[in-house]
Structure 1
């Protein structure tokens, strides 16, 4: 179950600007939050792009690419567990998460974004399920904090949590 919850939460933000995992369902009408893309500031759009690129890299098993989108001191938490800093996560739990992400179907329900000059956040909520088990639907919430560095926006904190839908 931990694998479904964490994989589900990781897939949350991957449904923007054409980025989606191979097994994504047909897109439905976007929520008002998802339609806000055109109203976002350039900084907010950049932050969303980093989050989506990170999740796409993770789902594709490109862990080094995912690592480069995080600050070295980034902390990752999931469902009440501290998974560690960037390197601890990428060298450990991320491997299983990458495998699980390849099997999850997801639908973005809501996304809120805010970014200033040097700090931003992306909060997403999605429904997720394995394609061969329509009754195992999870609602996942993801919060990513980002900071602007000399190399652009980097993820400095990730928190994933999930609950059974219904």
Structure 2
């Protein structure tokens, strides 16, 4: 896990990893809190990160459908999950606690991807995603703006999620 933390510090200090990729042109509001058009998410994912992004999507779909067996398969044993000021420091800890409530919350929730950026460095890929979550709370519609960072590590079994950081807030 130390290598993942070091990787994140280096990425943040360097302002990202340069890659050559097909990407959408940045919009003037990219740093503002204006969502992208509903049918046009802004995607900046180099080809070499594609397989890791597919694993991240598979994880999100599995969690939303309550498929905790797939969730377990895609998480590294030593995954670090940060959310709302708290931490779960292993796959077993997450599966024994918040995975069940996360799956229950996401059941029936529609996720609309707004932006995604991914970068690679050796056997690590980081993925930053911004989405809108359309849910119901107490029978009333609820729209959350969600930010997610994942770091995936290439293993003999394939890409596994080594770190997740989730944050969200109610859309105004």
What is the CA distance between 1:113 and its match in structure 2? 0.8
- 2:61 is matched with 56
- Do 2:53 and 2:127's aligned partners in 1 also have CA atoms closer than 8 Å? yes
TM-score by length of 2: 0.71
Q: Residues of 2 paired with 1:46 and 1:115: CA distance? A: 11
- 1:86 is matched with 91
1:56-75 equivalent positions in 2, closer than 5 A: 56-75=61-80
- Gapped runs of 5+ residues in structure 2? 1-36
Give structure 1 regions of 4+ aligned residues with deviation exceeding 2 angstroms.
Answer: 131-134
Q: Residues of 2 paired with 1:50 and 1:96: CA distance? A: 21
CA RMSD in angstroms, aligned pairs only:
1.8
Q: Residues of 2 paired with 1:55 and 1:75: CA distance? A: 16
- Do 2:113 and 2:129's aligned partners in 1 also have CA atoms closer than 8 Å? yes
Larger Rg: 2
TM-score by length of 1: 0.74
Q: Residues of 1 paired with 2:67 and 2:79: CA distance? A: 18
Aligned residues: 134
- Per-residue Cα deviation, 1:35-72 (whole angstroms, up to 9, x for no partner): x45xx22x310110010111111122221211111111
- 1:101 is matched with 106
**Highest RCO, 1 vs 2 (Cα 8 Å, sep ≥ 6):** 1
What is the CA distance between 1:158 and its match in structure 2? 0.6
